[in-house]
Amino acid sequence: LHPGADEGTATVEFPIEQASAITARLIDVEGFKSEDAFEGKIEVMPDKKPEIAIVSPGKHSFAIPDAKVPVLIEARDDLGIARIALVRNHNASSDDRKVLYEGGGSDIFMNANELLDLGDLGVRPGDVIEYYATATDTLPDTPQSASTPAFQIAIISHEDYRNFMQESTTAEDLKAKYEAIQQELKALAEEQRAINDELKELEQKLAESGSLSEEEQNRLEELRQQQEALAAKAGELAKKMQEEAERPAVFDIENEYKETLMELAERLGEAQKSMESGQQQMQPGASAEALQQAMQDQQAALDQLGQSDQQFQEQIQQANEDLAKIYKLLADVEQFKQLNSAQQMLEREARTYKDEMSPSLDEQIRLKELSENQETIRESLERLRDDLRDHAKEVETEYPQVAEDAQTIADSIESLQIPPTMASAAGNLAEPNAPQGHADAREALDAMESMIGFCEAAQGQGSSQCDLRLRIQMAMNPGNTLGQLQKSLGAPAMGQGTGQGQGGGMGSSSVPFDMYGNEPFGDPRQQESPFSTRRMHDAQAEPVPSDAFAGSFEELATSKSDDLNLEGVGGEHVVEEYRPLIEAYFRGLAEEES
């Protein structure tokens, strides 16, 4: 060891190549050795490669030309991350590499974010952005790196985006989107009201005593700062509302909504001016007259916010609530039709065994499975009967005829004894009494099919009544909004031949890719879908072969941890119309790469 900078320290450096022991003794200037020695062990641990994952989107995506796509990257290393970079290209151009994080290597876990502004990239429909991320660790001399699989963003037109969104957006989703805007308005009003109340107390104390204490002056300054910040929030919300108003509508009725949003954005701008004027009067040492003027400005802002909230409720949220109520009943009727299709499949399979008086063991096992499927359909039908009655009560005032139709369907399910007949079919199939089991399944199917015509008429009547109410009572032109919303009702209620629920009815559509269309108040479907969620233990998933994109649509899922279920026809209604578009995009990529 060599003496250090002061008398109490000594240092030494030597390479560590394998695990070993270390011993240290001290020798003073007169040559005397220390009686005790420091002893220890040195363990050598290999420096592992870093791990990195793109957790959002984390899958192939579609986006309109002016979308903003947030890319969230997670990386970790056993000793420390030195660098994270994003590599991307446009239509197979030369790669562009951007370092998102560069540090001293002390952080073993690091997040990095990048917002891909496609508008700035000048993309057009048909273009493809390909990207992946890399992480580098802190191993001296020979740093190690790791990379994620490469993902693509296929650029589609606004019309294609509109069609996709109609396929996967329910009436509740539409309602939630605009409720998010209204909640921001309400939050502004509540915060403004709280400032008003506190300022009124300070103004009264100033009027009574002629001055404010130091503590009260400090509180006045805090309120002034709160008012200034609130004015900035109002300006930001007004800008977001204006941008949303200028964006193409997904549903026809949103054209009416966007006109209202533009009016509200202007009113919010006036509220912002009142807030700014009020906060200027709230300077330290302000007079009672100045605070009174500030209160008047704040009240003017509060009035603007209150009127905006009322207009929003009357012209947007009330229409959305009507759409959501009718949508529930349309979904119920669609669910009945899907259960009818499931019963058709079951009856067809049971027909195979209708003459089997002594079924073999294999046939008995299959009959048992059919029995379980029949029981699942029966339980679903009974729940649907109850839902029809509950949802009918919600609309019986505004839509009495629609409510009556829904109640008729529920009563018919009961009067025709469909659930008991299905229960009998399930029991006989399990016994096994195949001939009687099939006969019961056929009887239940006949009863259901006798109702299909009425169900389809009820769906049409529900749409017509809702359209009429929106046009007359709310002075809104809904266009084909309900027809567009009905696109998301097509998922079958039962898995093909499995008897297991695949969602169905209300907004069950799921697609194994993400869609981006610049929705500032939130895409109702969650842009980071459950299929793209990844954890660090999956970060070293094998890169996706380039030819994987040319095959069937199911091969678009790329993460090993994806819990993707596309059995049967559970989600095909969402993308069937656009399957050629999807496959063409990625088949083209595969051909170019090969």
Q: What is the pLDDT of residue 470?
A: 77
The answer on pLDDT for 570 being more than 70 is no
Q: Give the 3-state secondary structure of residue 593.
A: helix
* 479-488: average pLDDT: 85
285: alpha, beta or left, given left = phi > 0 and alpha = psi -120 to 50?
left
SS3 content of the chain, % helix, strand, coil (to 5): 55, 15, 30
pLDDT in tens, 500-539: 333 333 233 345 678 888 665 544 434 333 223 333 334 3
Section 276-298 average pLDDT: 88
Token representation of residue 54: 């793109």
Question: How sure is the predictor about 9, in pLDDT bands with cuts at 50, 70 and 90?
Answer: confident
Residue 366 pLDDT greater than 90, yes or no: yes
pLDDT at 583: 59
Of residues 460 and 334, which shows the higher confidence score? 334
Q: Please give the pLDDT value at position 263.
A: 92
What value does the mean pLDDT take over residues 481-506?
Answer: 52
Concatenated DSSP letters of 396-429: TTT-HHHHHHHHHHHHHHHHTTHHHHHHHHHHHH
Q: Residue range 151-163: average pLDDT?
A: 90
Whether residue 541 is predicted with pLDDT greater than 60 in this model: the reply is no
State the pLDDT at residue 588: 60
**Bridge partners, 33 (sequence order):** 27
d(CA 417, CA 444) in angstroms, rounded, equals 8
- When pLDDT is averaged across residues 23-40 and rounded to a whole number, the result is 86
pLDDT above 90 as % of the chain: 42
pLDDT at residue 490, rounded to an integer = 66
DSSP character at residue 565: -
Examine the pLDDT at 242 and tell me if it is beyond 80. Answer: yes
In order, the DSSP letters of 235-292 are HHHHHHHHHHHHSPPSSTTHHHHHHHHHHHHHHHHHHHHHHHHHHHT--TT--HHHHH
Region 569-585: what's the mean pLDDT?
47
Report how far residue 553's alpha carbon sits from residue 586's, in angstroms, rounded to the nearest whole number. 9
Please check the confidence at residue 499 and state whether its pLDDT lies above 50: no
Name, of 315-324, 465-474, 500-509, the range with top average pLDDT. Answer: 315-324
Least confident of 23-27, 394-398, 556-560: 556-560
- What was the pLDDT predicted at 587? 61
* Range with the poorest average pLDDT among 132-141, 218-227, 335-344, 455-464: 455-464
Whether the per-residue pLDDT at 281 is higher than 60: the answer is yes
- Predicted confidence (pLDDT) at residue 339 exceeds the cutoff of 90: yes
Higher-pLDDT residue of 571, 577: 577
Q: What is the pLDDT of residues 405-437, one digit of tens each?
A: 889 999 999 999 999 999 999 999 999 999 999
Mean pLDDT lowest for which of 23-37, 326-340, 405-419? 23-37
Specify the pLDDT at position 566. Answer: 31
Model confidence at 562, pLDDT cuts 50, 70, 90, reads very low
Q: What is the pLDDT of residue 521?
A: 58
- What pLDDT shows up at residue 568? 34
Confidence of residue 584 (pLDDT cuts 50, 70, 90): low
User: Does the pLDDT of residue 403 top 80, yes or no?
Assistant: yes
The pLDDT of 456-472, averaged and rounded, is 80
Determine the pLDDT at residue 530.
Answer: 28
Q: Average pLDDT of the chain?
A: 81
Choose the weakest-confidence range: 60-69, 97-106, 537-546: 537-546
Please tell me the predicted confidence (pLDDT) of residue 26. Answer: 83
pLDDT in the model for residue 535: 37
- Please name the amino acid found at residue 100: L
Among 117-126, 297-306, 548-557, 564-573, name the one with the lowest average pLDDT.
548-557
Residue 545 reports pLDDT greater than 70: no
Give pLDDT, residue 533. Answer: 36
90: β partners: 129
3-state secondary structure 447-514: HHHHHHHHHHHHHHHHHHHHHHHHHHCCCCCCCCHHHHHHHHHCCCCECCCCCCECCCCCCCCCCCCE
- Per-residue pLDDT averaged across 2-16, rounded? 81
Residue 258 pLDDT > 80? yes
Q: Name the pLDDT band for 462 (thresholds 50, 70, 90).
A: confident
- Using an 8 Å Cβ cutoff, are 43 and 19 in contact? yes
233 vs 535, residue with greater confidence: 233
Q: Which two tokens mark 516?
A: 């981006």
